[in-house]
A = this chain, B = another copy of it.
Amino acid sequence: MTNDIERLTKEHILAKERMALKRWNVGDPSGFLEISNSDVTYIDPYVDKRLEGYDALKSLYEGLRGKIIVDVSEMIETRVDLYNDIAILTYKLFSSTSQGETYWYCTEVYRLIDNENWRIIHTHWSIAK
């Protein structure tokens, strides 16, 4: 039973991430915004500083809305580690756009909020060599 719940939780989190990426790929950052918590922190190679809080992330993402179209995107080697109300999702992402092909690493820390919704509290994107 516990194993079933764990397995379903992991699948649920992966499905959330996949859905957010699917929208991201057509220029819509709202998928990620809708699952990011108010206290989210965010790192990618292009931000000068770690972003702190939903509003900072929203500001970044709104500036990119409609500007990034990803033709091919594949999550590789996904892994979810569960620690009670915290889940650490890690994966590699292959991404192909008009700018070229890139392999990314991604860490997403999800937290179960109000015993109801898994939401992102930390994101770290990086470029794999």
- Residue from the list B41, B105, B122 in contact with A43, Cβ < 8 A: B105
**A–B complex contacts, Cβ < 8 Å, 15 sampled:** A43-B126, A45-B126, A45-B129, A50-B92, A52-B79, A83-B85, A83-B86, A83-B121, A84-B84, A88-B109, A90-B124, A107-B122, A124-B124, A124-B126, A126-B127
A111 contacts partner chain B, Cβ-Cβ < 8 Å: yes
Contact at B127–A81, with CB atoms within 8 Å? Answer: no
Known: A50-B92, A86-B86, A121-B88. A81 touches B39 (CB 8 A): yes
Cβ proximity bits A84-118 to B, threshold 8 Å, 1 near / 0 not: 11101010100000000000010101010000000
Interface centre among A84, A121, A124, A127 (most CB of B within 10 A): A124
- Residue from the list B43, B45, B84, B122 in contact with A81, Cβ < 8 A: B122
- Residue from the list B41, B107, B126 in contact with A79, Cβ < 8 A: B41
Known: A105-B126, A127-B127. A50 touches B121 (CB 8 A): no
Chain A residues in the interface with B (C-beta under 8 A): 39, 41, 43, 45-46, 49-50, 52, 77, 79, 81, 83-86, 88, 90, 92, 105, 107, 109, 111, 121-122, 124-129
Interface centre among A49, A83, A125 (most CB of B within 10 A): A83
